[in-house]
Amino acid sequence: MKKIEILGTGCPKCQKTTKLVEEAVKEAGVEAEVIHVTDLDEIVNRGVMMTPAVMMDGEIKCEGKVPSAKEIKSWFE
């Protein structure tokens, strides 16, 4: 099972990122746990300087923008 973390304070861009990630996981048929990280100290400690950011299994996949559905799906390949 993949661990996908959405890092951000809950702004509209973060919410859109969450929605896109959840839809992509469902469409790809991937088993994944989607977690929200909203604590600013935790986000900074992970080396993220711009939100929204997406981490998958501990690796930063996207930072400072809302990823496209196509981009998200490519992470599962």
Rounded CA separation 53/26 (Å): 20
Query: Is 14 labeled as catalytic in the residue annotation?
Result: yes
Region label for 13, one of left (φ > 0), alpha (ψ between -120 and 50) or beta (otherwise) = alpha
Q: Where are the beta strands (DSSP E) in the chain?
A: 2-7, 32-37, 53-56, 59-63
Q: Which one is catalytic: 3, 11, 16, 57?
A: 11
Q: Of 14, 53, 54, 66, which is the active-site residue?
A: 14
State the residue for tokens 């992970």: 46
> Looking at the annotation, which residues are catalytic?
11, 14
